[in-house]
Amino acid sequence: MQVNALICNTNLGRRTDAKIILQGYKVIAGAAGQLGLPVAFIAARRELADQLGRLGAPVLPIDIFMKPPWEDFV
């Protein structure tokens, strides 16, 4: 299998905030640089997408439709 790009999908479910995504992006961008690959996109909940500013990859806004059972205990 050939890898052409990396995807930044940093998330802790509904606990994810813009800071966590930005920290994850730094890690992914570093790995992508070492591998000589681009970062294809950054996945982020739709309500966080505007908080991310301009990064080195487009932001893919996503919507979460499921609630994992462990979030009932948070």
Question: What pLDDT, on a 0 to 100 scale, did the predictor assign at position 73?
Answer: 60
Higher pLDDT, 52 or 5: 5
Contact (Cβ atoms closer than 8 angstroms) between residue 7 and residue 43? yes
Which of 61, 71, 69 is CA-nearest to residue 12? Answer: 71
Question: What pLDDT, on a 0 to 100 scale, did the predictor assign at position 66?
Answer: 78
Report pLDDT digits (tens) over 8-59: 998 877 788 999 999 999 999 999 999 999 999 999 999 888 888 788 889 9
Tokens standing for residue 15? 């606990």
Cα gap 57→24, rounded to integer Å: 13
Contact (Cβ atoms closer than 8 angstroms) between residue 33 and residue 51? no
Mean pLDDT within 51-71: 82
